[in-house]
Structure 1
Amino acid sequence: MRLSSKRLLRCGLIAPPLYVAFVFAATLARGDYSSIGVTLSHLGDIEARHAWVFNTGIAVYGALVAAFAAGVYGAYRETGKVSPSLFFSPTEGEKRNSYLARGRGLAIAAPLALYGAANIAIGAFKVDVLEAGGDHGAEHAIHIAAARAAYVLAIIAMAGAAYALAGKRRLRLFSLIAVVSMVVFGILFSMESVKSKIGLWQRGFIGTAVLWVEALAVAMHRAEQRERLTGLRRQA
């Protein structure tokens, strides 16, 4: 695997813990905040103290995820050199350099890159605090649209992984479980009857997405390590 692809893949290891750290710091910076009843977006709204902490964190997370997605696709393009146990089943050895490899790479990398871009937009545009009789501005609308896009794109990326990771049964299963979790928390998030816990439901599907990114990054990192060890054994 090329050095550039390796570095891009490592972005996936860094992004999730960095996201958690920024959210934690932003929560501490805003003392009058309920993690259960208020969405994460309000950590960075136009009236929040130190809103830049949350908004910067989300944008950096998105940029790292987009870079990681490029690394995932790069790994598939070089799949003849990457551990086949991650990408292909034992019966697919002859297909490792075919268009199938690139198709599987795109199934994960394309929606993952767009998910990263959506998070950059979430950080760049703030939500309003609506006054009585007032209307939300354009910046608020863009933020909400980006957040909805990120939710859908995360599900698509997870479904793509469930299809593409033919040689990694546990990760495929985890991806499917993550999809179900995203849908369940998304439904709860939209239900008026449980709106008092909207922050909890949102953290449920956002946390699922962040955890899934980390799981995928760990799997890719292990594949890279196996590749390196195999190369050293061949040289010995």
Structure 2
Amino acid sequence: MDTPYSSAPLPVWERPEPQPRAAPVPLSRAKIAATAIRLADAHGLDGLSVRKIAKELGVGPMRLYDYVINRSELLDLMVDTVYAQIAEAGQRSEWRATVLALAQATREAALDHEWFADLIGGRPHLGPHALAVGESTAAALSQAPGVRGIDDLQRALGALDAFVVGALRREITERRAARSTGTDVSAWQAALGPYLTRMLETGRYPTVARLVIDGAHLNAEEAFHHNLTTILDGITSHPRT
């Protein structure tokens, strides 16, 4: 099935589901995506393959290619399934509450599905639920007092996206490091505490010392909300001159 622009196949979201077959196991793209998500949650993206998904579903691997033509399409379906959960948070009456809710829902989704953090931040996701989240976010930010036109909106969206992606990847990376090393962040800090104290006592790092000694030590959730609020305050209170 060709598009009007090239011989490339239509995106997976525009192709109709294959006709039901007289087979012991009924399939659908939603069922395939749900199974792939369960496997990725348990084993990560490196442990995900069409063969493993087919085995989990009790079908032959070739049957899955009736529904997705390659791994990229499979990942697209998985990501958009997660975005469907995030989209449910975007129903708020006030712009700031909408942005906060969507960002928090995105964080919760990434913590539930760590592989999701590996797939965001690159090329835009264009599935229907990803577009719905993008629409809700852009529509909300367009109502912020500091956003006065399309250029301001693009900058605001860019700043918000950069923060969310960076914060989630950092948090997920720390979780993975704790699992792989058997040392959580508190134990790591305790182990390196004496060294850091000696370095700060040299007086060569006075600003870092202030941050370590006098700064607030927030947990990951508190830090995410605090930094997100800082960004929204900047969008609202400090319009570009």
Answer yes or no: same fold by TM over 0.5: no
User: Of Structure 1 and Structure 2, which has the larger fraction of its residues in helix?
Assistant: 1
Larger radius of gyration: 2
Structure scoring higher RCO (CA < 8 A, sep ≥ 6) equals 1
TM-score by length of 2: 0.30
